[in-house]
Structure 1
């Protein structure tokens, strides 16, 4: 079965280490035949949230916002790549994602966290779990944490640790299970509201 998966990434920093994690996840999803859409906050750059997508009249939203809305609406699931900023998620990530709401409903999300330390950004992942749940995305139970990102992945996103490649397989198996299950429910029964 083939899935459409949107990968969200939110760092605006000039020396973005987390882009390696995003590239790694995109490559892993491509190897599993996902249609991957990369939603990079720096590239979409909607500015600080003033008006959500749903607050625009039909056909009135900026073109890039409309484009991403369509990708989110037609996605089977999401991978959210988050670095840890002050024990929380990046402001760019929360700002990008908060432009949407109903478009996410009843599609699963997998959390990928990273940091330069050995904790792998798990404190951000815990914050992100509550954020995504509030936006209508059930999160899978596994968190894919990448410690010491500067050493663990190459600039191109290639793994320098065999354990990462093994762990990512289990993480994506779980995500795909949820993508398939929730897709079937949406097709057979629609949304509960």
Structure 2
């Protein structure tokens, strides 16, 4: 059975350059034989966090939250595609993520960041690292930071020029790292129940 990977994207802006990176990630993972699905926070459209999924009585969570909780529980791993706002996280993606907790446990997560500038969302990338680990995920050591995203990927998410070639090589290594940890996590969960 192929690995099931959810690719999360969180921009709510009207001009969303990062969606091309999220689409690339899904496509590239699917080409590797992974069952990858894009989870777009703007399309899921959860409210600002008031009650976490686990705080609803069974069967009473909003339908979108219930559906997403099921997808997260069934996933083997995650990719978080994040832009950077003032050295920080995108609020839409953080809000979506915070609605869940135990659903994330014991699976690997990878971070792919981007920006219009040259640093490629490195500050948000680092901020997500600690947050995802706190939420029970194993964050893989490989990350991808895409600077000047409009010069790296075209409108269809295809790599462009030398920057695009460099990005594609980096993403391939990232995907290999994520695949290794995904396999390790699946085997460990089959071998031994999580400690809590």
Q: Structure 2 length normalisation: TM-score?
A: 0.96
| Structure 1 segments (4+ residues) deviating >6 Å | none
The total of aligned residue pairs comes to: 193
Residue of structure 1 in register with 2:195 after alignment: 192
* Distance in 2 separating the partners of 1:41 and 1:131: 17
Three-state SS of the structure 1 residue aligned to 2:23 is helix
* Pairwise CA RMSD: 0.9
Residue of structure 1 in register with 2:76 after alignment: 76
Q: How does 1:1-193 map to 2 (within 5 A)?
A: 2-160=2-160, 161-193=164-196
Which stretch shifts more, 53-62 or 105-114? 53-62
Q: Which runs of 5+ in 1 are unaligned?
A: none
Deviation at 1:165, TM superposition (A): 1.4
Answer yes or no: is the 8 Å Cα contact 1:81–1:111 preserved in 2. yes
Per-residue CA distance 1:72-96 (angstroms, 9 max, x = gap): 0010000000001010110001000
Q: Which runs of 5+ in 2 are unaligned?
A: none
Answer yes or no: is the 8 Å Cα contact 1:37–1:71 preserved in 2. no
Three-state SS of the structure 1 residue aligned to 2:11 is coil
* Distance in 2 separating the partners of 1:64 and 1:36: 19
Per-residue CA distance 1:36-79 (angstroms, 9 max, x = gap): 22111100111100111101111111111111111100100000
* Distance in 1 separating the partners of 2:193 and 2:59: 25
